[in-house]
Amino acid sequence: RVLLAESGGGSVQPGGSLTLSCTVSGDSGDTGNIRFVGWFRQAPGKERELVSAIGTVSGNIQKSNAAVKDRFTISQDSAKNTTYLLMNNLKIEDTAMYYCAAGRLGSWSGAQNYDYWGQGTQVTVSS
């Protein structure tokens, strides 16, 4: 069994920053097969969308959301099994539930390829 625990969400004003964390834990036989971790978000009434993903072995980064380009940065600390999402210059339209997910095979951009999901952490941007 693999567990993903997100933290770091909260309420900020436009222009503010937050850093989300996602820690992966579980049986090493399962966690060792994870090849990529992604951050998704879902706003009320909208579909879940990929924000960014990173290869756990390669370190390669995929940014699939043009709306957050140059404002959000994904990174990882392999020793801590933790992936981060640094969010700068937050905008009201960034308000959403943010989910961390991990996958083993397939395209990083497809939500269906993620095998494990966290419970989500709420990010609210308002003035």
Query: E strand or H helix at 28, and its extent?
Result: helix 28-31
Instruction: Provide the pLDDT for residue 109.
Output: 86
The CA-based diameter of the chain, rounded to the nearest angstrom, is 46
Please state the separation of Cα 33 from the chain's center in Å. Answer: 18
SS3 of 42, please?
strand
Distance CA 113, CA 67 (A): 22
Instruction: Give the mean pLDDT of the chain.
Output: 94
Local confidence band at 28 (pLDDT 50, 70, 90 cut-offs)? confident
| Contact present, 92 and 16 (Cβ < 8 Å) | no
Instruction: Provide the pLDDT for residue 124.
Output: 98
| Contact present, 61 and 52 (Cβ < 8 Å) | yes
Lowest mean pLDDT among 4-18, 31-45, 61-75, 102-116: 61-75
Local confidence band at 107 (pLDDT 50, 70, 90 cut-offs)? confident
